Structures are given as structure tokens and as C-alpha cells.
Structure 1
């Protein structure tokens, strides 16, 4: 059967969708994120779409009554999403804070409506010191992150676009999503994961330490371009030593 007419093949190419409800317990959110990650890991060239709608949940009440073990499991789930071979897209509108903000900062491409307001979770005047702080520093720099953390102000959609926390503002989010999913679907996979990892590690890695990893990635790309397949571990190790 032609893959274009095979229902199973067609379904495998459709984006995986996860709707995030910030009002549910953290354990349920963690399970939901791990669930969609597992589905993505069982596919090739998949795209994960996270819908982060406006919620009656108060993002500044994050994280609520949880244990440190709950926080650890949540952070590991978000990190799992961030490191998928699948491309990830977030569609966000209205107030976005707490778990929605964590997930937004872990995605590859971010589409927002003009109503977006990013809210840093604050309890008794103190910002929640989760990994969203780490990602903010990596993504907008120390100075800008310091201003956001100390100021404690909401971030408007235009401000989020200007500083790179979202990639696109759209009044037709569904249309923007279809275009982004089509574009990212063509590059989703192990090659995207390798390049994403290089980007994520760059701020904390010296040139000398990063050189071997980048050369190994270049060797892999040269082999792909010339149809020679993936390098074996031994060759990658030798390349990394040069």
C-alpha cells in the first residue's frame, strides 16, 4: 500500500498534541508530558504541539503544595521534552506562567497571540527558583533575566517577541501552527536534536571543550551529505580528540 494512502503512515506523520491545563495537580501534568514524550520517541520525524491556553489557574500560585520529589520529577519531564528528537511547537495565549511557562521555554518554536502575558511565578514576593530561571538566563542573557526576576513585571506579547521568548505573533494561531509544523516536520529527528544540543550547551562550554563535539557533528553531517551513513563510535571518539 502506498504510504500516502496508508492510514497508519498518515497518522504517524500528524503532530502529537498535548493540551496543558495548569489547574490540574503537578503529578498529572508530569504524567501527561512524559506520555507525549514517549509517543514522540516511538516515532521518527514527529512534531509535538503544546497548546497553552488561557486558564483560570493563577500562574503566580505555582507550584502549590508539592514535595521536592514532585518538583524533581516535573523538571525531568520538561527536560525530556526539551531533548526530544522531535521538533516541539508551543501555541500560547493569555496569561502564561507556572507549568505553561516552563514548557514554553523548553520548546523549539513558539507562537503567541497578542493577548499573551508571561508571568513569572512569585510567592510572597519571591520568584520560584525552578529551571525556568536557568532557561531565561540562557535564552535572554544575565542582564535581561535579572531585570525580569527583580522587576517581577508581566511580559507582554510584543516584549516577549522583542527579546526572543516567542518567535511569532499571530491572530490566526491555527494557520501559523500548520505552517510551522510543516516546516519543522521536515527537519525533525536526530539531526535537529544534535544541533539543539550544541546550542543549549554553548553558553556553558568553552571553545576548547566544545570543539570535539562540534567536529563530531560535522563529521556526521559530511557522511550524511556524501551518503556514507553514520560514523561509528570509534571514529567519533577519534574526531573528538583532534
Structure 2
């Protein structure tokens, strides 16, 4: 039986503005890109991430929405298509979450990965989990424990970004040519080999949500 010819690669772009915080619209936008990537025979998801403040509690209305956000990021990590994060400036909150969930990260020289701080303590988000899994270097330990920003060159040396470029998303054709052929269920399997097991992820997610809930309750009680 003759195989169906492969379609041209579709580039699916999503803007993730860390300053806008977490919203149902953002969850829907990333989920929609995942839908199209799963339906298309060849796709490349490009997340344009930037910005973010140090008070995630103000942008996390409730744990239910946070749970949906982590679910869609986990779905992004399991897509049968490659994903790229094009990163600018400070990268915190949902921007940091999305960037760390991508397969390939291209950072502008001004990029800083900034663990958020809420009520005087580092926000216990899953970005910390992903940072620690991607790199065990000392710079990551200081970021996870004390919230120290990680500059672009530090992130490159630590393996948190793959390139540093003046225009992270200026040449989508280059990305398409390099990554559009990376497609299919085997891609998800290879990701799992690089990451922790599903059971370890689910355990980390449960602890993360509980810790975030405690931070939000303290912020409410102190208001």
C-alpha cells in the first residue's frame, strides 16, 4: 500500500507572557497548539516566552487552574512533535514553566531564568522540578533553593538552554528544517528515557500542588 505523502511542516506559535500570569486563555492556547500538533503529520510548536514577575500568587487564581496548566505542559512534553522555546528578557512564572517544558530552548543574551518569590519564599512550582532534572550544577541549586536568577550564559553552560541568539525566533525556516522531521510516538518515548519515570513525576506534581496551595493560603490569611 502506498504511503500518504508527508505534509509540509506547520509552525504553531504561542505567545507566553509571564507578566500576564496564568489564565484559562493561556491554558486553552497551549492546549489548542497541542491539538493541532497531534492532528498534523508534521508540526513544530514554537513558544515565544518572555517576562514574569516575582509574585506568582497574584497570577494563580486557584489550584484547579494550576492543575490544568501543569496537565497541558505535561501534554506538551509528550507530543509526537518537537517544541521550541524562543526566550527573551526575564523569564519567570508561566513563561519559565513553558520554556522548560519545551524540547529545545533558544535564549536572547538578556534572558534570565527567574524562580518566582511569593510571600518572601521561592514559589514551589514545577519549574523548579524541571530545572533540577535538566541540570544538577551548583547554579541550579542556588536557583532552586534561594531563587537566584540564572543568566543566559549560565543557563547555556548548565544545559538549560541550547542556544543563545540575538533573535531567538528570527529564522523559523532553520528550525523547521532541523526539527520538523522529528515526529511520531518514538519521540515521546525518547523524552521519557531522558526524564524521570511517570510515577516520580506524579509524586513531584502532587507535592508541588500541595506546596503551592499552602503558599496561597498564607497569602490569603495575611491579606
* Offset of residue 149 of structure 1: 2.1
Match of 2:45? 48
CA gap 1:100/1:29 in 2 versus in 1, 3 angstroms: same
- Shifted more, 191-200 versus 176-185: the winner is 176-185
- The alignment status of 1:27 with 2:24, answered yes or no, reads yes
Report the CA distance between 1:191 and its aligned residue: 2.0
Stretches of structure 2 that go unaligned for 5 or more consecutive residues are: 201-223
Q: Residue by residue, what CA displacement relative to the aligned partner does 1:25-45 show, whole Å, maximum 9, x if unpaired?
A: 522211111111111111123
Does the C-alpha gap of structure 1 residues 105 and 160 become closer, same or farther in structure 2, counting only changes over 3 Å? same
Count matched residues.
Answer: 195
1:230 corresponds in structure 2 to: none
Match of 1:186 in 2: 181
Aligned partner of 1:18 in structure 2 is: 14
The aligned counterpart of 1:133 is 128
Out of 56, 71, 91, the residue aligned to residue 62 of structure 1 is 56
Any conservation in 2 of the 1:18–1:49 contact (CA below 8 Å)? yes
Unaligned runs of 5+ in 1: 206-242
Deviations 1:91-112 (A, max 9, x none): 0010100001001111100001
The range that moved more, 179-188 or 90-99, is 179-188
Distance 1:142 1:162, change over 3 A: closer
Q: Structure 1 runs of 4+ off > 4 angstroms?
A: 202-205
SS at match of 2:160: coil
Counterpart pick for 1:122 among 117, 126, 142: 117
Task: Provide the rounded CA distance (Å) in 1 between the counterparts of 2:137 and 2:163.
Answer: 23
CA change 1:172–1:146 in 2 (3 A) is closer
Bigger proportion of residues as strand: 2
1:128-177 per-position Cα deviation (integer Å, ceiling 9, x unaligned): 11211211121112855332123322111111111011000012323454
TM-score relative to the length of structure 2:
0.78
1:111/1:176 contact within 8 Å kept: no
Say which SS state the counterpart of residue 17 (structure 2) adopts. coil
Residue 180 of structure 1 deviates from its aligned partner by 2.7
Higher Rg of the two aligned structures: 1
Q: Which has the higher contact order (CA 8 A, sep 6+)?
A: 2
Identify if the C-alpha distance between structure 1 residues 39 and 186 changes in structure 2 by more than 3 Å, giving closer, same or farther. Answer: same
Query: Is the Cα contact below 8 Å between 1:37 and 1:84 reproduced in 2?
Result: yes
Q: Provide the rounded CA distance (Å) in 2 between the counterparts of 1:162 and 1:109.
A: 15
Q: What are the within-5 Å matches in structure 2 for residues 89-128 of structure 1?
A: 89-128=84-123
Q: Distance in 2 between matches of 1:92 and 1:84?
A: 20
Displacement of 1:189 after TM fit?
2.1
2:56–2:117 contact (8 Å) kept in structure 1: yes
